[in-house]
Chain A
Amino acid sequence: MNKTSDISALIGNMADELRERVLIDEQTAMVGIHTGGVWVAQQLYPLLDIREPLGELDISFYRDDFTRIGMNPQVRPSQLPFSVDDRHIILVDDVLHTGRTIRAAMNELFDYGRPASITLAVLVERDGRELPIEAAVTGQHMELGEQDHVKLTGPEPLQLEVKRAP
């Protein structure tokens, strides 16, 4: 379990790293992935001088496991209050695990337009990747067992919960 202060520090470090990696100008925009990614993005966004409003993606319609689990009853509209074309997008999520959520998010972004680049920033990067997707900026690395889960709870306070398999 991480305390809120730890998470704030992690997000602060992510902001420092993003400033080093990404040229933040009028073509830069940030997008958080519902739900945890939006919470992280809401704390990360004010630390960077991004002029475009924060965007939000709900990737429910782009999941590759729809035929197994059906429709998520809590789906929310995606909101991208800017043109995606030629933007440098900072894509923010809470946990990078299999990579499937990020694949879905990128598919959705490309249905809005053709970004100049996408930089992936995640609060937690854990093992268990199933797709060749890696984060450029990571708050924390975790080595977990196959049956273990890490979850961000929030939005106030933000806390990481790790549920260990028995």
Chain B
Amino acid sequence: MSANLQIGEDGRLRHFLSIEGLNRGLLTEILDTAESFAGVTEQSVKKVPLLRGKTIVNLFFEASTRTRTTFELAAKRLSADVLNININASSAVKGETLLDTLRNLEAMHIDMFVVRHTDSGTANFIASHVQPHVSVINAGDGRHSHPTQAMLDMFTIRREKGPDFGRLTVAIVGDIAHSRVARSQIHALNLLNVGDLRVVAPRTLIPAHVESLGVRVFHDLQEGLRDADVIIMLRLQRERMQGAMLPSEHEYYRLYGLTRERLTNAKPDVTVMHPGPINRGVEMDSQVADGPRSVILEQVTYGIATRMAVMSMAMHPVSSQENHG
């Protein structure tokens, strides 16, 4: 992934494709900007005119409700016009290539594409082919990256625990091997200098050489949760059961499901997170999901402010400073 593709000559965000290649200052700027956007919900008119006249296309080649909805709402709260492309009924099915689809949409004077695709690198591919004034946001590509999910998670952690990530112990639990969310979270937490970063999973769901990403590996959940400040549970894809990576959902829950009893291994004020949607009784017990330590619904709320920040920062200015006064 080329960092240069994401950053313009002026050092500002140009596209938002992955956490890799960004620096701590830029991540902090995104979080600070999101903090300001969080206040927009306090207004009686929950909109700002920042992207008025801009057109944003949600180009989703993979099913998504939560992410697409929050991107759509974020764009609308920035006063942009939003177009949701239904890929199942689109030209992609008729054999039109991705670039053809892109060129046709660009001919409609689109300013930004929000892209989700099952293939890793799709958002990067699109970003390298769009016109200079068009920005691309990665809303999840294969197993590679889900950077806005990672940023909303960082925003949630900062809101819950304060800005000093260095004193935090964070445990990411679940399918690390196949999770684009986990990859992006690991890169973001390392950039923000997290104190102790752990991944907890069965051996079949841990990628080789994961320690090189700056994490400590645990296969025992109780050990991995010990004195944790933040627990991030990952969604378990059902195809992992069919792929012989796990014996059964029941067995996974027995060993890795987050229950109230297991939560006592972590700090009393632990924050429990999950990117959603939850498999209740697989990744966690409902008593934990709906309990006082859970901020899962707050994550959804913060996702809008965080995506507003990324979209507005990536929208490309056409010239330089002028006096406002």
Query: Interface on A for B, CB 8 Å cutoff?
Result: 58, 60-63, 65-71, 73, 75-80, 85, 95-101, 104, 107-108, 110-113, 128, 130, 149
Contacts and interface: CB of A to CB of B under 8 A. Distances in A.
Interface string B8-48: 00001000000000000000010011011111101111011
B39 A107 contact: no
Given A63-B324, A75-B36, A149-B323, 16 more contacts: A61-B36, A61-B40, A65-B324, A66-B317, A67-B317, A67-B318, A68-B322, A69-B317, A69-B319, A70-B315, A70-B316, A78-B36, A96-B325, A100-B324, A110-B45, A112-B43
A70 B12 contact: yes
Among A63, A73, A95, the one with the most B-chain Cβ atoms within 10 Å of its Cβ is A73
Contact of A101 (B33, B43, B322, B324): B324
A111 B45 contact: yes
17 contacts: A66-B50, A66-B51, A67-B318, A68-B317, A68-B320, A69-B320, A69-B321, A70-B313, A70-B316, A73-B33, A75-B36, A98-B325, A101-B325, A110-B45, A111-B43, A112-B45, A113-B44
A128 B51 CA distance: 27
B321 to A, nearest CB: 6
B243 interface: no
Nearest to B33: A75
Nearest to B313: A71
A108 B51 CA distance: 15
A108 B45 CA distance: 9
B317 A70 contact: yes
Contacts of A112: 42-45
Contacts of A73: 29, 33
A34 B12 CA distance: 23
Contacts of B324: 63, 65, 98, 100-101, 104
Nearest to A114: B44
A123 B148 CA distance: 42
Which 8 A-B residue pairs are closest in the complex by CB-CB distance?
A97-B325, A70-B317, A98-B325, A61-B48, A111-B45, A77-B39, A77-B36, A111-B43
Contacts of B47: 111
A99 B325 contact: yes
Given A70-B315, A77-B36, A78-B39, A61 B325 contact: no
A3 to B, nearest CB: 24
Given A77-B39, A99-B325, A101-B325, A71 B49 contact: no
Nearest to A102: B325
A132 B123 CA distance: 46
B50 A61 contact: yes
Contacts of A110: 45
B312 interface: yes
A98 to B, nearest CB: 4
Contacts of A60: 36
